[in-house]
Amino acid sequence: MDTQRRKFLKIAGVTALAGIGAPALVRLSSSTALASEHGAPPAAEHAAAAAHGAPVETAPQGVRLGMVIDMRRITEQPELLDNAIAACNAAHNIPQFDNRKSEVKWIWKAPFANVFPGESSYHLAKSVEKTDFAVLCNHCDDPPCVRACPTQATFKVKENGIVAMDYHRCIGCRFCMAACPYGARSFNWEDPRPYIKKYNKDFPSRMRGVVEKCNFCGERLALGQEPACVEACQGTGAIVFGDLNDAQSEIRQVLDKEFTIQRNASLGTKPSVFYIV
């Protein structure tokens, strides 16, 4: 396999151009969205390190993508969350089942009491009680689903911390669904295609018998775009996305300033999704 890859790269080097050097692209794909946010210096620094062949994963702190969801904005404009969910569903060819049993969800809405069952909902602020929270995969830094998967079909991308799925490899044992303490995973109980309303031709669907979940829009990041849900809330600051390990990033500015909570942090999974209530 390796010799073939090398052979391919050799020939491809003549006929095709791999754009910028591959290591730089690795860097680019994980944080193009962020680079544009906070100016050149940190990105250039990373890119330089990568170009010198320093593997990203050996850096003391790699990229760890995360998200802050500002529920105050969503309380003001609840339609933001609907737009974000619709954008995700459209971008990822997510089927819409009308029964709860077969549901496939990447990002969805649920009341505070359900999203934070460990927190008290006793005499909750009325605004919080009335607003639905956004729920999605936490892309944990120490994900139990990855630990449980017997085939590495779900794994942590070392370049950016995304907890990703390889649908080609998943055997459908659903161990990850039992392991996930956030209920973020869905299984394709049947062929999803008839339940996809409209296709995004740039993204595959899934097949029956595999588990799926939010991928932090890895495919969009590669094109320098923001995740679909973030883009849907553009300009409102409702969802901030970026590198948690980059002190200059917008998400870090927000985290430094605001008090945030994470879902069931006591389990030690280190969720990468934060909520401002």
Q: Which stretch binds other proteins (CB under 8 A): 37-45, 69-77, 208-216, 225-233?
A: 208-216
Class of residue 218 by CB neighbours under 10 A (exposed 0-12, middle 13-18, buried 19+): middle
Give the DSSP H or E segment for 186.
strand 186-187
Class of residue 126 by CB neighbours under 10 A (exposed 0-12, middle 13-18, buried 19+): exposed
Residue pair 68/238 in contact by the 8 Å Cβ criterion = no
Closest distance of CB 220 from other proteins, Å = 11
Q: Is 130 in the site for other proteins (CB under 8 A)?
A: no
Give the DSSP H or E segment for 163.
strand 163-165
Q: Which residue from 51, 76, 169, 261 is in contact with other proteins, where contact means CB under 8 A?
A: 169
Residue 214 CA to residue 195 CA, distance in Å, equals 18
Q: Please, which of residues 177-206 interact with other proteins by CB under 8 A? A: 177-183, 186-191, 196-206
Q: Which residue from 35, 67, 136, 144 is in contact with other proteins, where contact means CB under 8 A?
A: 144
Q: Phi/psi at 43 (nearest 5 deg)?
A: -60, -45
Q: Is 74 in the site for other proteins (CB under 8 A)?
A: no
Q: Which x/- pattern, by CB under 8 A, does the window 212-241 give for other proteins?
A: ------xx--xx------------------
**Which of residues 269 and 272 has its CB atom nearest to other proteins in the complex?**
269
Rg of the Cα trace of the chain?
19
Q: Is 79 in the site for other proteins (CB under 8 A)?
A: no
Residue 160 CA to residue 158 CA, distance in Å, equals 6
Closest distance of CB 270 from other proteins, Å = 12
In the numeric block, which tokens belong to residue 8? 């391919």
Total of chain residues touching other proteins, rule CB under 8 A: 93
Q: Is 69 in the site for other proteins (CB under 8 A)?
A: no
Q: Is 59 in the site for other proteins (CB under 8 A)?
A: no
Q: Is 209 in the site for other proteins (CB under 8 A)?
A: yes
Closest distance of CB 71 from other proteins, Å = 16
Q: Is 257 in the site for other proteins (CB under 8 A)?
A: no
In the numeric block, which tokens belong to residue 261? 């909570």
Residue 232 CA to residue 267 CA, distance in Å, equals 31
Closest distance of CB 256 from other proteins, Å = 27
Closest distance of CB 80 from other proteins, Å = 18
Residue 26 CA to residue 32 CA, distance in Å, equals 10
Closest distance of CB 254 from other proteins, Å = 25
